[in-house]
């Protein structure tokens, strides 16, 4: 039995990256702990007149490089350990992309699928009431995450405006377009990963007509399937929480997405698509050139990593591969494009939204895509070069790249005591 937490396991990446750099131990000490984590209970009125409470958290992990930035998820299994770990990853993700942010994260322990729309709105507004003094456009900027969306962000932004008595669109990103949201935000996570893979395709040994398996067919998974299929690649397997389907000569992505949009599970669509139903856990072992984990944390472990046949893993989810599994994949010659780089398209376009909100001038979709492509290619190339020069994995290279920027910023702040409140 071990007392090791998810954050402890995430910090292994920090220690490994530090071993490749001349970093003051004070920098590592600061980055090992969140700056502040707030826990509360949200008490809301249900439609039947009863009251029900839900645990909620907001973590501001590190603000050395700017206001903290990170999504809010509504999930029945959320806990403080998960929130702090996700905020740690966001700290490094923003540094990898050279965004002027630190890392943050929030969550409510709830299954939003059990709530009516009015109950969901009350919960969303209650979250903002609880954390209105924590967030702010210059302090902590939330965004959507698992089981939250633009509509929920719109409710939260409106509640913040009512509490503060001002219109402050930059307090939250991922909002509806009508409330100051950015074009290109809905597919940004997938598009960033797509640009990264296409830019590094020759180095990764991926042909332009490669095959793809996608674990998790929510927002990111669906958009990635759409983008890669349009680029001439074959999506041969997908999964959701109910199961997986496989078709060696490629699935009809348009029909698959239409079926999901109508409320069906991927397994419900197997017959229509001429696909075979397989256990969800078997998806990672199908024959494919590229495996895209787009579900939750720690889905690929030491127990199943050896079954992966793909030559490249693109982490659209946060933390889908454990440190032990990483070693197996490296030994087997599998290249992992790590989450803090691979799925950074979401926070990058969130940054674009924040910039547009603050300047009151909005870019067209072509400019959003061009800026995202440029940044993903620039930082992806930098990470790849570090990996080759230092003979380390792409994950280690990404952490080295980010840690160098964080260390420079921490040292530039001087020697004032750090308060971990």
Q: Report CA dihedral (275, 280, 282, 288) to the nearest 10 degrees.
A: 60
Return the pLDDT at 415: 55
Return the pLDDT at 16: 86
The catalytic position among 30, 69, 93, 105 is 105
- Between the two ends of the chain, the Cα-to-Cα distance in Å is 30
Q: Which of 28, 37, 48 is nearest to 87 (CA)?
A: 37
User: Regarding beta strands 211-215 and 140-144, do their DSSP bridges make them parallel or antiparallel, or are they unpaired?
Assistant: unpaired
DSSP letter assigned to residue 181: P
3 state SS of 134: coil
Q: Which helix (H) or strand (E) holds 270?
A: helix 270-273
Residue 105 annotated in active site: yes
Task: Tell me if 239 sits within 8 A of 216, measured CB to CB.
Answer: yes
Number of C-beta neighbours around residue 163 at 10 A:
13
Quick check: pTM over 0.85? yes
Using left for φ > 0, alpha for ψ between -120 and 50, and beta otherwise, residue 245 falls in beta
For residue 393, give every residue at least 6 positions away whose Cβ sits within 8 Å of its Cβ, in sequence order, or none. 326, 330, 335, 336, 387
What residue ranges of the chain are covered by domains with CATH 3.40.50.720?
A: 188-342
Return the pLDDT at 416: 54
Digit-coded pLDDT (tens) for 157-210: 999 999 999 999 999 999 999 999 999 999 999 999 999 999 999 999 999 899
Place of tokens 């597919």: 187
For residue 201, give every residue at least 6 positions away whose Cβ sits within 8 Å of its Cβ, in sequence order, or none. 207, 208, 210
Return the pLDDT at 146: 86
CA distances from 324 to 208, 304, 305, 320, 348 (A): 31, 11, 9, 12, 29
Query: Could you tell me the fold of the domain covering 33-179?
Result: Rossmann fold (3.40.50)
Helix, strand, coil percentages, rounded to 5, for the chain: 50, 20, 35
Task: Tell me if 289 sits within 8 A of 211, measured CB to CB.
Answer: yes
Sign (positive or negative) of CA dihedral 36, 338, 231, 147: negative
CA distances from 264 to 154, 222, 241 (A): 27, 14, 12
Q: Which of 389, 359, 347 is nearest to 193 (CA)?
A: 347
Sign (positive or negative) of CA dihedral 163, 164, 168, 170: negative
What residue ranges of the chain are covered by domains with CATH 3.40.50.10860?
A: 33-179
Total residue length of the chain: 421
Distance, CA of 108 to chain centre: 17
Max Cα distance, the chain (Å):
64
**pLDDT tens sequence for the chain (421 residues):** 356 788 888 888 888 888 888 888 888 889 999 999 999 999 999 999 999 999 999 999 999 999 999 999 999 999 999 999 999 999 999 999 999 999 999 999 999 999 999 999 999 999 999 999 999 999 999 999 989 999 999 999 999 999 999 999 999 999 999 999 999 999 999 999 999 999 999 999 999 899 999 999 988 999 999 999 999 999 999 999 889 999 999 999 999 999 999 989 999 999 999 999 999 889 999 999 999 999 877 889 999 999 999 999 999 998 899 989 999 999 999 999 999 999 999 999 999 999 999 999 999 999 999 999 999 999 999 999 999 999 999 999 999 999 999 999 988 887 554 444 4
Return the pLDDT at 388: 96
For domain 188-342, which architecture applies?
Answer: 3-Layer(aba) Sandwich (3.40)
């Amino acid at each position: 039995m071990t007392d090791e937490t998810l954050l402890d396991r995430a910090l292994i990446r920090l220690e490994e990256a530090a071993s490749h750099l001349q970093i003051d131990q004070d920098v590592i000490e600061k980055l090992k702990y969140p700056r502040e984590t707030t826990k509360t209970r949200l008490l809301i009125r249900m439609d039947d007149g009863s009251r029900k409470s839900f645990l909620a958290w907001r973590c501001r992990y590190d603000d050395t490089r700017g206001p903290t930035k990170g999504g809010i998820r509504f999930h029945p299994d959320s806990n403080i350990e998960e929130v702090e770990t996700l905020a740690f990853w966001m700290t490094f993700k923003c540094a990898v992309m050279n965004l002027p942010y630190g890392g943050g994260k929030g969550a409510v322990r709830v299954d939003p699928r059990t709530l009516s729309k009015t109950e969901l709105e009350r919960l969303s507004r209650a979250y903002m009431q609880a954390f209105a003094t924590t967030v702010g456009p210059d302090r902590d900027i939330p965004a959507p995450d698992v089981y939250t969306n633009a509509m929920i962000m719109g409710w939260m932004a409106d509640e913040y405006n009512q509490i503060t008595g001002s219109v402050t669109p930059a307090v939250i990103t991922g909002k509806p377009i009508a409330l100051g949201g950015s074009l290109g935000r809905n597919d940004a996570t997938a598009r960033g990963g797509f640009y990264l893979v296409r830019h590094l395709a020759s180095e990764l040994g991926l042909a332009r007509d490669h095959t793809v398996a996608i674990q998790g067919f929510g927002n990111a998974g669906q958009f990635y399937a759409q983008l890669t299929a349009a680029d001439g690649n074959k999506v041969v397997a997908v999964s959701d929480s109910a199961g997986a389907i496989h078709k060696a000569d490629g699935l009809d992505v348009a029909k698959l997405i239409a079926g999901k949009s109508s409320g069906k599970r991927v397994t419900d669509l197997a017959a229509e698509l001429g696909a075979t139903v397989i256990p969800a856990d078997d998806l990672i072992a199908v024959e494919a050139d590229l495996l895209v984990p787009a579900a939750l944390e720690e889905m690929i472990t030491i127990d199943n990593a050896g079954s992966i046949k793909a030559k490249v893993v693109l982490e659209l989810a946060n933390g889908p591969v454990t440190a032990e599994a990483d070693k197996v994949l490296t030994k087997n010659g599998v290249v992992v494009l790590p989450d803090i780089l691979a799925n950074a398209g979401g926070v990058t376009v969130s940054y674009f939204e924040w910039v547009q909100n603050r300047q009151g001038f909005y870019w067209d979709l072509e400019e959003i895509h061009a800026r995202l492509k440029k940044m993903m290619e620039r930082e992806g190339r930098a990470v790849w070069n570090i990996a080759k020069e230092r003979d380390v994995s792409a994950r280690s290279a990404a952490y080295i790249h980010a840690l160098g920027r964080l260390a420079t910023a921490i040292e530039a702040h001087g020697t004032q005591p750090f308060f971990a409140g």
